[in-house]
Amino acid sequence: MKRQYRVGILGATGAVGQRFVSLLARHPWFEPVSLMASGKSKGKPYPEACLWHLDDPIPEYCSRLTVEACLPAEGLDLVFSGLDAGVAGSIETDFASFGTPVISNARTHRLVKDVPLIVPEINSEHLSLIESQKKRLNSEGFIVTNPNCSTIILSLALAPLQAKFGLEDVVVTTLQALSGAGYPGPGAMDILDNIIPYIPGEEEKIQTEPLKIFGTLSGNSIVPKRMNISARCHRVQVTDGHLLSVSVRLKQRPKPEEMIAAWQDYTPGIAGLQLPSLPSRSIRYTCVDNRPQPRLDRDSGNGMTIWIGRLRSCNVLDYHFSVLGHNTIRGAAGGSILVAELLAARNLIAGRCPLE
């Protein structure tokens, strides 16, 4: 089958960028044709420009591509951005203004009024913000954003609870993997035999982004959901996979078996769209006492399934439980690709550039 869309990757040599490069190697719809990164890599073949650090070997197609500058150009139906927040703002806006849809992982545009902040299973209807954004930019291009990695994983776990029982309060403590800090991660002497109880900016993102994700579309903007989230974040010595310890207070207090059923029976609205990256189950629940665990569960559903476990009554709020998800797949590159698939299925991106 022919791949319909020609796509570019911004920040292709970085931690999230490499995941894009790897995950798109055999994607049925998207063909990566442009790998873009900062100036000093420009002009080199990708395998030379990039210090590849994933376990999976570097895909073959990369050797045919030369790293390009992050400049808008014809010939791209879509770009994925793994750029750091420091530079993402203007570059992503440039592409969108030029006419190219952008799926961004940076925090920069997430809370902008007419920029959708999307977890496809939860709030695909927020994509209708694109229309007003296009008008503002006076362009066919636009920006759609992927939430923070921990936010995506948390929000997915909360979605069935919100739908069935209503969320009021959430207290979450995260144990986050090294890859979330971007390659090469913290210094080894700082993290070996240690934990760092602080990730700059992370707690704020987890406390605010879900309010928009669970918010209500009203005309050209989102009315944030009213709920309280308290987050504390830790960097731990794990390569991939964020583990979250979560306590919740719900509007209606269900029985434990109803909680578990809500997760196990969860069927997102987009289930019928045949999106290639949507796992057969976005959420799984385990009854095994000492699971989920990062090393054993992060790759489930090709890294797109989150696992929940250890549901227990909470002596202060209603319930607590553990959530695990792959931070650079579900929480970043894989999540963005799923957003792009949703855009394609909804005809929000055009395969304007025929692939020869």
Q: Which amino acid is at 223?
A: V
Q: Which is nearer to its own copies, 69 or 188 (CB)?
A: 188
Active site residue 62: no
Token pair 């990708």 is at which residue? Answer: 46
**Least distance in Å: CB of 338 to its own copies?**
20
Q: Which is nearer to its own copies, 93 or 162 (CB)?
A: 162
Token pair 């698939």 is at which residue? Answer: 341
Q: Which is nearer to its own copies, 244 or 262 (CB)?
A: 244
Q: Which is nearer to its own copies, 213 or 345 (CB)?
A: 213
Q: Which ranges in 229-289 belong to alpha helices (H)? A: 256-264
What angle is formed at CA 328 by the lines to CA 250 and CA 237, rounded to 5 degrees? 85
Starting at the edge strand found earlier in the chain, the sheet holding 30-36 runs 30-36, 5-10, 78-81, 102-104, 143-145
Interface contacts to its own copies, rule CB under 8 A: 52-53, 55-57, 169-171, 173, 175, 178-179, 183-198, 200, 203, 207, 228-230, 232, 234, 236-239, 243, 245, 247, 249, 289-296, 299-300, 309-310, 312, 314-317, 320, 322
**Least distance in Å: CB of 347 to its own copies?**
35
Give one DSSP letter per residue of 206-226, joined into a string.
HHHHHHHHT-EEETTEEE---
Active site residue 126: no
CB 260 within 8 A of CB 285: yes
The residues with which 285 forms a beta bridge, in sequence order, are: 308
> Which stretches does DSSP call E strand in 62-101?
78-81
Q: Which of 27, 126, 242, 320 is catalytic?
A: 242
Residue 54 CA to residue 179 CA, distance in Å, equals: 10
Q: Which is nearer to its own copies, 203 or 341 (CB)?
A: 203
Q: Are strands 78-81 and 30-36 parallel, antiparallel or unpaired?
A: unpaired
Query: Which residues lie below 8 Å from residue 132, measured CB to CB, with a gap of 6+?
Result: 114, 220
Q: Which phi and psi angles does 20 have, rounded to 5°?
A: -55, -50
**Least distance in Å: CB of 15 to its own copies?**
8
Please give the DSSP secondary-structure letter assigned to residue 139. S
Q: Which is nearer to its own copies, 42 or 291 (CB)?
A: 291
Q: Which of 149, 233, 320, 326 is catalytic?
A: 149
**Least distance in Å: CB of 286 to its own copies?**
11
**Least distance in Å: CB of 135 to its own copies?**
35
Residue 72 CA to residue 324 CA, distance in Å, equals: 37
**Least distance in Å: CB of 310 to its own copies?**
6
CB 79 within 8 A of CB 101: yes
The total number of residues shown for the chain amounts to: 356
Query: Would you please indicate which residues are annotated as catalytic (active-site) residues?
Result: 149, 242
